[in-house]
Amino acid sequence: MESSTMKKKPIVSVKDGLLRSIKWEHLVAGVSGGVVSTLILHPLDLVKIRFQVNEGIGITKRPQYKGLVHALTSIARSDGFIGLYQGVTPNVWGAGISWGLYFFLYSSIKSWMQDSDSKKNLGPMMHLAVAAEAGFATLVLTNPIWVTKTRLCLQYKNSTGQSPGVMYRGMADALLKIYKYEGIQGLYKGFVPGVFGISHGALQFMAYEEMKTVYNESLNQPLDSKLSSLEYITFAALSKMFAAGTTYPYQVVRSRLQDQHRKYNGVIDVVRQIWKFERLRGFYKGMGIYVWHVTPNICIVFLLYEYITNWKTNEIRV
C-alpha cells in the first residue's frame, strides 16, 4: 500500500506544478499591451512595411517616399488621416493575440521550469529556449493575421485617385480571399522567415531577463524584486534594440513574401534578388523607422505587462 501511494505522488506533483504555473493575468497583460501600443503607433508600422517592400529598381509602381515625415504626409494627403491606419484591424488583432499568447506561454513555461519559485535563476540559455518555444507556438497561430495586415498595408492609390491592385475590403475579406485563391499556403506566406524571427523574440526576452537579473544581483536583492517604471522601460528598450539589430533582415524578407504586388519563388529567391539589386542595404530597408516605431512600442507593452501582472501587489515604483 505504501509503495503504491509513493508511485502516485509524482503524477499529482507534476499536475499540480503545471496548474500552478498557469497565470492568466499574463495573457490579459500581453493583450492589453499589444492593443494599446498598436493603436498608438500603427502609422509608423504602416510606413515601415512600405519601405521594406520598395525594391527601388522600378519593377513595380509604388509610391516613392523621401523619408518618414514625407511618407506620413503623403499618405495623409492622398488617403486622409484614416489612410494612416490601413491594416490596423489585423494589426490590433495580431498584436493583441501575439503578445497575449507569448507572455502567457512564456510565463507559464518559465514558472514550470522554476518549479514556481520566481527567485530561481534559469540562466540565459534556458531563457532563450523558453522564449523560442513560446514564439513558435504563437507564430503558428497568428501567421495568417500578419499576412492580411501586410496585404492591407500595401494597398495604394495612384495619381488618378484610383486603387490599382486593391483586392480587399477589410480583414475578414482578406482572409477569405487569400484562402480562396491561394489556399492555406497563402495564409502562411512568410512563415519560414517568421520561424527565423522567433530568434528575435528569444534574444529579446533573454536580454531583458538577464539585464534584470544582473541588475538585481548588483543591488543584492531577490531576482523577482519589483523595479521602477524607468528601469523596466530602459531594459525593454535596450533588449529590443539588441534583438532588432541582430535579426532585422528576416522582417524585410517576410514582408516581401507576403506582398501581393510581387511574386517570388520562396525565401532563397527573395534573398537572391535583394542582394542582386540592393546589396546589404536592401536587407535593412525601413530599419530607421522600425527603431522609431518599436522602441516606444516595446516600452508601452512591457510597462503595461509589468503593471498588470503586479496589480495585486502594487509593488512597482513610479
Output the pTM of the full model.
0.74
Number of helical H runs and strand E runs in the chain: 11, 0
Split at pLDDT 50, 70, 90, the class of 314 is: low
Give the number of other CB atoms < 10 A from CB of residue 155.
Answer: 19
Read off the pLDDT of residues 30-49 as tens digits, 9 standing for 90 and up.
899 999 999 999 999 999 99
DSSP secondary structure code for residue 59 in this structure: S
Whole-number Å distance between alpha carbons of 81 and 58: 28
By CB atoms closer than 10 A (0-12, 13-18, 19+), residue 159 is exposed
Compute the distance between CA of residue 34 and CA of residue 8 in angstroms, rounded to an integer. 42
Q: What CATH number labels 24-86+94-142+194-254+262-309?
A: 1.50.40.10
Domain boundaries, the chain: 24-86+94-142+194-254+262-309
Q: What pLDDT, in 10s, does the model give residues 268-305? A: 999 999 999 999 999 999 998 888 888 898 889 888 88
Alpha-carbon distance 305 to 312, whole Å? 13
